[in-house]
Every structure is written in C-alpha cells, then in structure tokens.
Structure 1
C-alpha cells in the first residue's frame, strides 16, 4: 500500500472538482468537519485511507473572487513552517447549472473554488482553551502561545510579508501533538516591503478580533495582526472567551476586564499550583496581550519583540 507521503506527492497542485467530490462523498454532511471564513470544510479520504481537509469556498469569498487567485494560493502553498498549516492543492472550475428564473430554466455560469490542506485530527484551538471545554494545563497553553507567535513571526518576516487578517482560535488547527498551525488564509494580504500600511474599503474579519483602525478606517497593517494576536493570547491565558455586546468597540469591555481583574491575586486563584517561573509566564502573557491591543497601532509591539519577551530575552 502506498504511504501517505507518496500519495500526497502524486497529487497535482491543481485538482479536479470531480476528484474532490469523490473523496468527500460529494461534500456530504457526514464528511463536514467545520466552517471557516467564507466556506465549509470537509474531510477527504485518499486512496490509502489517509485524510486531507477540503474547504469549499462560498461564492462571495474574497479569495474566490480574487483575480490573482492562483498566484496568491501558490504563495501560500510555498509556505513551510511547523506552525503554518500545509496547503496541498486547490481547485477552481467553471460550472454550468440550470437555474429556474420566472418559471423558466436558464443556464448559469458559476465558479467553484476549493482549497485542500493537511488534516488536523485535533480540530481547532477553540475546542480546548475555554473554561468548560477540554481544559488544558498552563504548560500546554504557554507552548501554544509561543508556537502561534513563531508562526506569525515567520509570516511577518518573509521577504514579502503576509498579513493573516483573521487570527482567532477557530483558525488555529491542532495536530496530534497539540501543536497549533495557523490556517485559513482567505483574508490574507501580501505586503510590499516598503509599505507601512495599505487602505481598503472592503473590511472583513471576525467580530471581536478586528483591530479598530481596520474596522473603522480600513487600515491593513502588520499591527492589525498584532491586535488579533493580543486578544488570542488573552483568551488562551485566561480561559475566558471574548464576548462583547458593544458593537461600536468590539472587545473593549473584554480587554478592560482582563486588565482590571487579572491581578497577581487572581492569577493565583486561577492557577493555584504554579511555581514562580510559571506564575511569571502567566503575568508576562497578560502584559503582552494588553500591549498588543493598544488603540494606537504604532504603540503595539512587533512580533519579534513579542517572541523575545516570551523567551525571556527582552
């Protein structure tokens, strides 16, 4: 029987829609394993029984409508890092469908867009970090935070940096060793070397994780990822989900609660068995999270500073 590596290595980058339908049982509900930004993810079974994840993008997906789709996807496929999900292939095919219009059936052209990734057996980080879920201890939480930051450091320090623009627990997939991998690059932007930020009128993202300058002014920058990372670090550290009813300033109440409540006394009550080193780690992560969500984007730390901070070298 062929090994997993040999099967994957034989897959062409550009896959046929008929093949993806076959390995997902025609995108059946039984094969559905989750939903992400602008699409549904299905489990695909290869000929040797091994699995891949197939994301079927919605018609309104920004990536699906991107005129540079293939270039952008191949840029993501070229990424190789332990904390970045490995992209295996893609599909973009025009389909003709019969649609009823005013009592008559007409032919309508549609474009089906799909992305294929390595399969993550443990699902998303959201399954583990919140109180009441499958609780993980502090050592694992700290390792996850450091690993996510290493993945973001990789993206932000490429020769042409990539801004993810949708960092959240649901877009971090866990492998069998509970190592997180940044996934879902549907909103990602390639960033020119000399640019400090770019502007867009098409603001998209996940409520509660969007940087304020992006939400209100359409500013896309590396610091927008840092803001999302700050919320993420706070959620992982506290076990508390960012739920905000404030539609004008999403996340502000959550941030203020963390800032005020997570004192040394509260840390001790939450993590009563921590030794001095681990207690310092929790304090450091809370402080980093608060620094990352400053309203002025230029006041937020860069990802290399955050990594140094976590490693105790800053």
Structure 2
C-alpha cells in the first residue's frame, strides 16, 4: 500500500514541479486512477490507442495514453516518444509525467497447445489539458476564437517550435514531423502546448537534415520536399505551422472538401472564396 501512495506522490510532484524528471508508473497504478480504463473515462481515441482521464487521490487529473497494439514499429514509436519527451521542458510543450513499460503473461491456447503469451503494455502519462485540442476550435463557419486568442495560440505554438528547433537541452534539435491542430492541446487559459512526439526525430547540434526511410505523418501538413524527396529538416515543421496558422485565421480546416492534395490547393481555394465574398459585398 505504501508503494501505491509513493507512486501517487511522485506523480503529484512531477505535475507541480516542471524540473522533476518524469517517473516510471506501474500498470496497476494507471488502472486504479482510470477506473480500470473504463469507457466513461475515455477522452479520445485514434490509430495509436485510447486516451483516458486519470484522477489522482488529491483530485489532480492526468491524461493516460494507452497504446493498444504493439507491433515492432509501434514499439519503436513508443520508445521514440519517451526519448523525445524526456529531453524537453517548455511551457508550450505538453508536460510529460511518466510512462509504463510492462510485459504481462497470459495463459491461452494456441494451435491446440496451452501456452503463456507475452502481452506488452505501453502507456504514457501527461498533464491534463482541460480545453482539449485546437482541432475542435477550427470550423468552416467560424474558428470560435477572437483575434487576441488566435494571436496567443499562434505565438505559443511558435514559441514551442522555436524551443524544439533551437533551445532544447540536447545540444541539437527535435523535429516534430506531425504538427497539426489535433496535436496542439490547450489548457484552461487557452495556452497551446505541442503534443504527440511519436514521429519526432532528434538531430545532433551539427545536423541540419536527413532522409526518411519511410513516409509518415499527416496528409496536408507534410512539407513537399519531405513528401517528394524524403528530406527531413526543421523546415518540415515550419511548413506544418504555416498550414495551422492559415486554418486558425480563416476558420477553415485543411481540405474542407476533402479533395485538396497539397496546402497550395487549400490556400488558393480559400483566397478565391474570400475574393468572391468581397466582390459580392461590393
């Protein structure tokens, strides 16, 4: 029982003190604070798995990301995300609280033979962002934000990205490679924080670009030199940032019709629409 309280104390300390290192969290602890990963605690889901709300004994809330399927590729992605998050500390980067990396053994029947099967459990724990993701504030009708809020969000994203590219404590830079509104989280003051570092790449202080062996990311937010030539550099994130800024300012999500292939098509369609509106008012 004392061990359980100790883990809770560690989580609370990491949440309160940004200088504290993220901690290892036992699977049972994460089961306890998410009510055994119950459906009513679910915050969202995607191809990676499910995110749950975790409630600590002191009523502090955390977000628990449960990676459901662990192929070799996803195992590497988990390790990559932990490696990246352990290195970054910034007000515009989501606070990483800790991780769970356990392997359970389940007794089952396989091809008529009773065997113990290894079941890897990989989870990540973050500060809880009360206002959700930026994605839900951008719509075709109106982004629902006034200019001051838009400016604050854009400035915050820029600050977080500048830190990753130029100021993080690894004597190099972190290239996010999957910057998009769904990966920008907002706190109760609408302060933006960059999240989801599963695809991030770490560069040494002398490295400026590299070539990808496989193309990963989100269509519409990937820089053209990355899509066409597999070149990874900080410019890839800047391209994504520009698309996000256009979305925030116009209130249109990228590819509102779902037919646009590249950002240029999206920008041109928005400009044509705005020109038509102005001509109609003239």
- With the shorter chain as reference, the TM-score category is 0.7 to 0.9
- Residue ranges of structure 1 left out of the alignment (5+ in a row): 270-314
Residue of structure 2 equivalent to 1:170: 182
What is the CA deviation profile of residues 156-195 of structure 1, one whole-angstrom value per residue up to 9, with x for unaligned ones?
1033100111111111111010111111111111012222
1:30, CA displacement in angstroms? 1.1
Higher strand proportion (structure 1 or 2): 2
Residue of structure 2 equivalent to 1:144: 153
1:8, CA displacement in angstroms? 1.4
Whole-angstrom distance in 1 between the partners of 2:109 and 2:162: 50
Whole-angstrom distance in 2 between the partners of 1:30 and 1:169: 25
Residue of structure 2 equivalent to 1:221: 233
The answer as to 2:8 corresponding to 1:9 is: no
Whole-angstrom distance in 1 between the partners of 2:75 and 2:219: 21
| 2:141–2:252 contact (8 Å) kept in structure 1 | no
Whole-angstrom distance in 2 between the partners of 1:135 and 1:41: 25
Counterpart pick for 1:257 among 266, 269, 273: 269
- Residue ranges of structure 2 left out of the alignment (5+ in a row): 1-7, 16-21
Of 76-85 and 254-263, deviating more is: 254-263
Of 7-16 and 44-53, deviating more is: 7-16
Of 107-116 and 169-178, deviating more is: 107-116
1:7, CA displacement in angstroms? 5.3
Q: How many residues are aligned here?
A: 263
> 1:148 aligns to what SS in structure 2?
helix
Residue of structure 2 equivalent to 1:64: 75
Counterpart pick for 1:35 among 45, 49, 54: 45
CA RMSD of superposed structures (Å): 3.0
Residue of structure 2 equivalent to 1:308: none
Residue of structure 1 equivalent to 2:35: 25
Residue of structure 1 equivalent to 2:132: 123
